[in-house]
Amino acid sequence: MLVLLQNILFTLLPWLVVLTVVVVVHELGHFLMARAFGVAVDRFSVGFGKTLLSRRDRHGTEWRLAALPLGGYVKFSGDADASSSVPDAEDLADLRQQIVDRQGAEAVGRYFHFKPLWQRALIVLAGPMANFVLAIAVSTVFLMCVGEVYMKPVVSQVQPGSPAAQAGFRPGDAITRVAGRPVDNFVTLRQYVQYHASRPIDFSVQRAGQTVTLTAKPILAVGPDPVFGRPIRLGQIGVLGTGPASIRRLAPLDALTHGTAQVYDTLDITVHYLGRIFQGRESGDQLGGPIRIALTTKAIAQDGAAAGHTLAQHSLGVAINLFGLIGGISISIGFMNLLPIPMLDGGHLMFYAYEAVARRPVTARVQAVSYRVGLALVVGLMLFATWNDLQLPVLKILGGHVS
C-alpha cells in the first residue's frame, strides 16, 4: 500500500500540477489579450466539472475553481460553448439582435465575435504565445538559478570514418557556429546534431587563427533512453568535446538570450521531426502521449527527490525538476495549438484567414464538418501517441511493471 501511494504521489500529482499550470497560462494569454481589447468574459475556469470555489470580479467575470484539475478554459460573452467557435453570418445577425435587445447597441462592441478580425486573431494567438513566453521565462530562471551543463565547444577527438572525419574536423578545432547560429557550449552543439540527422549542417570552426567552414551530415545512431528503457535514434557526427563538464550559471541577459534560443531550438526540432514523419523518413514511434508525460513527470520528480537528504531538500529538488518540465510541456502545448486543425487555435486562425479573404465567416455547415474532422484528427493523434506509450518496455505505473 505504501508503494502504491508513493507511485500515485510521484505520478499523478506532479502530472496534474504540470498540466494545470501550462493550460491555465495558455488560457490566461487568451484572457489578458481579450481584456486589453475590451472583450466581455463570462468565465475563467481552472479545471472542469463541479464548481468548488467561485467569485465574480468588477468586470463581471466569474473566476472558478472546479473539481477536475485538468487544465481550464475561458468563456467569452456570446460564446455557445468554451471552444469559441465562429458563428456564421446568420448566427451573428441573431446574436447581434439579442445583444441590442438586452443591453443596447453600444454593448455589441464588447463581444468577441464583433471585434475586428485582427483583434480576434491576436486573442486566439495569445494562448500559444503565452505558452512560449512561459517556456522562455522558465528557461531563463533555470539558467540563472540552477545553471546548465557546460563544456567547451572544442574538439578533443574525431572518430575515424565518421561524418566529422569526412568533413575535415581535427582535434583542437573550436566550433563557433552551427547552421549559422553562434554556439558556445558543446552540449548545445551535441543536442542540435542529435535532432538534425540526415541533413547537412554547416559548422564554423576556428583553427590556427582562421575561420574554416566544414559541412557534415549526421548519421542516425541508436542509443539508450534513461527514462523509458527503449532504444532511441539520434544524430551523430563523431566528435568528442573537451571535458570535464561543469555547471554554468548565466547572467540575466545571457540567460534570457539562451532561454529564448532553447525554446526556438525545441520548436525547430519538433518541426524537423514531424517533417521527417510526413516524408516517411521517421516511424513516429518517438511521439508520446499522456502516459509518457506521466512517466516523465514521475521520473523527474523522483530524480529531484533523490537529490536531497532532508524533507526540505527533497521538496526543493522536486520543485526544481518539475519547474523545468513545465517549460518543455508548455512548448508542446503552444505548438500543438498552432496546428491548422479545427477545434485548436490554429484552426480558428485558419477560419479567420478565410474570413479575411472572403469577407464573410465560414458557413455553419462547413464548420460543423471541419470540427468533426478536427476531432477525429486530434483523437487519432492521441490514440497513436498512447499506442506508442504502451510499447514502452517498462511501464512504471502505480508500482507495476509491464514489458
Are 317 and 306 contacting, i.e. CB atoms less than 8 angstroms apart? yes
In a domain, residue 318? The reply is no
Active site residue 27: yes
Q: Would you state the pLDDT for residue 253?
A: 94
Q: Would you state the pLDDT for residue 403?
A: 35
pTM over 0.85? The answer is no
- CB-based burial label for 144 (10 Å; 0-12, 13-18, 19+): middle
CA gap 88, 361 in Å, rounded: 5
Q: Would you state the pLDDT for residue 394?
A: 46
The 3-state DSSP class for residue 292 equals helix
In a domain, residue 210? The reply is yes
Alpha-carbon distance values, 136 to 81, 158, 332, 362 (Å): 31, 34, 13, 35
CA gap 138, 303 in Å, rounded: 19
Q: Would you state the pLDDT for residue 398?
A: 40
The domain in which residue 179 lies consists of: 149-248
Q: Would you state the pLDDT for residue 305?
A: 43
The 3-state DSSP class for residue 75 equals strand
Q: Would you state the pLDDT for residue 294?
A: 52
In a domain, residue 173? The reply is yes
Q: How many residues does the chain have?
A: 403
262, amino acid identity: Q
Are 244 and 344 contacting, i.e. CB atoms less than 8 angstroms apart? no
The residue behind cell 550559471 is: 249
Number of separate domains in the chain: 1
In a domain, residue 376? The reply is no
In a domain, residue 156? The reply is yes
Alpha-carbon distance values, 68 to 9, 46, 64, 186, 346 (Å): 17, 9, 12, 43, 26
In a domain, residue 172? The reply is yes
In a domain, residue 15? The reply is no
Q: What is the CATH number of the domain that holds 186?
A: 2.30.42.10
In sequence order, the β-bridge partners of residue 55 are 63
In a domain, residue 184? The reply is yes
Q: What is the mean pLDDT of each run of 10 residues along the chain (403 residues)?
A: 56 75 92 93 89 90 87 81 63 80 81 89 95 93 87 92 93 92 89 84 92 91 61 83 84 92 84 68 57 52 47 50 77 88 87 89 79 77 62 47 37
Q: Would you state the pLDDT for residue 82?
A: 57
